[in-house]
Amino acid sequence: MQSLWMILACAMFAIMGACIKLAASFGVPLAQIILFRGVPSVLLLLGWAIFTHRRIIPEHPKKHLWRNVSGIASMWLGFYALSNLPLPTAISLNYTSPLFITGYMLLWGGARGDYVRALAVGLGFVGVLGILRPSLGEDQFVGALAGLGAGMLGAVAMMQVRQLGQSGESEWRTVLVFSLCVCISSLGVLWIDGWQSLSWQAWLAALGLGLSGLVGQLAMTRAFGAGKALLTAALQYTTIVFATILGVVFWDEVPDGLAWVGMALVIAAGLLSTWRTYTESRRSRATAKA
């Protein structure tokens, strides 16, 4: 089930990316895009919690604090990188998060001998490079540092999500708190820059990115809180595959041969990591029966 949750999250995040691209093409400013990323999650989750009489106050506020500081900082650094680097380079740098997670898990996270999943994450990143073909100019050093910072802080945020899940924190509450903080961060910028009126097409794109982001965040939170961190990290790369498919269908962005090889490596990474988890589960059940 962990693999299915993460694949669902990747598909939703790919859809969210397509909606962001549409929203930007309709002239939606960055701060409003970020606001729309959080508002649907806040309204739907808060309304559902009140209607069903759920506890809204988080049970682990300190862990939520670190999760949101790292997550929101990663988001803004990632947007800075996207604004100052070629798109393939910025996306590739954002996808260094699984590599940071792998390094942590192999050195300090109790997975020192899990070289199969480490290989899966490495294969996945090579696949991402094959798909995106990043390039970097001499005047783009600060943007590159921002992209790497986004990847590193994104890894910290994901590990915090995992800790929240292992502590028994509900997925919906984790997503609600993060979405509230996302809205607050965007409102600060909007207070300075002001609100820009939108067309009905922009509103539809903004609604799509908010809803797909909500489903993707819930699924990712469940995946990271439920099982192997390295499995989830490897499966993250399938977002690139889904995004490439959307590009072919809606923007006629047909990949070349090297990009298809890259996607094959991404899929192979996910299958390798899934196989590793499956064999571990069978071994554990056999040991329990014995």
Reported as a single tens digit per residue, the pLDDT across 226-241 is 666 666 766 777 877 7
Mean pLDDT, rounded, of the chain? 81
What pLDDT score was predicted for residue 50?
92
Of the candidates 183, 155, 197, 5, the one whose C-alpha atom is nearest the C-alpha of residue 66 is 155
Q: Tell me the mean pLDDT in the region 268-276.
A: 76
CA gap 231, 227 in Å, rounded: 8
Reported as a single tens digit per residue, the pLDDT across 164-202 is 888 888 888 888 898 899 899 999 889 988 899 999 999
Choice between 283 and 264, residue whose per-residue pLDDT is larger? 264
pLDDT of residue 69 exceeding 70, the answer is yes
Q: Give 42-88 as a DSSP string.
A: HHHHHHHHHHTT---S-S-HHHHHHHHHHHHHHHHHHHHHHHHS-HH
Domain ranges of the chain: 2-111+136-228
What pLDDT score was predicted for residue 199?
92
Contact 77, 148 (CB under 8 A): no
Q: Tell me the mean pLDDT in the region 15-23.
A: 84
HSE of 28, CA atoms in CB hemisphere, 13 A: 26
Q: Tell me the mean pLDDT in the region 257-265.
A: 83
What pLDDT score was predicted for residue 47?
92
With 0-12 CB in 10 A as exposed, 13-18 as middle and 19+ as buried, what is 126? middle
Of the candidates 194, 240, 267, the one whose C-alpha atom is nearest the C-alpha of residue 97 is 240
Q: Tell me the mean pLDDT in the region 46-52.
A: 91
Which of 105-114, 199-208, 263-272 has the lowest average pLDDT? 105-114
Contact 249, 17 (CB under 8 A): no
From residue 160, how far is each of 61, 106, 163, 182 by CA, in Å? 12, 17, 5, 16
Query: Of all residues in the chain, what percent carry a pLDDT higher than 70?
Result: 88
pLDDT of residue 282 exceeding 70, the answer is yes
Reported as a single tens digit per residue, the pLDDT across 75-128 is 888 777 876 776 666 777 777 777 777 777 777 766 666 778 788 888 888 888
What pLDDT score was predicted for residue 4?
83
Flag whether the pTM goes above 0.85: no
pLDDT of residue 288 exceeding 70, the answer is no
pLDDT of residue 157 exceeding 80, the answer is yes
Q: Mention every residue, 6+ apart, whose C-beta is less than 8 A from residue 78.
A: 90, 94, 146, 147, 150, 154
CA gap 3, 238 in Å, rounded: 11
Read off the tokens for 11.
């598909």
* Confidence at 208, pLDDT banded by 50, 70, 90: very high
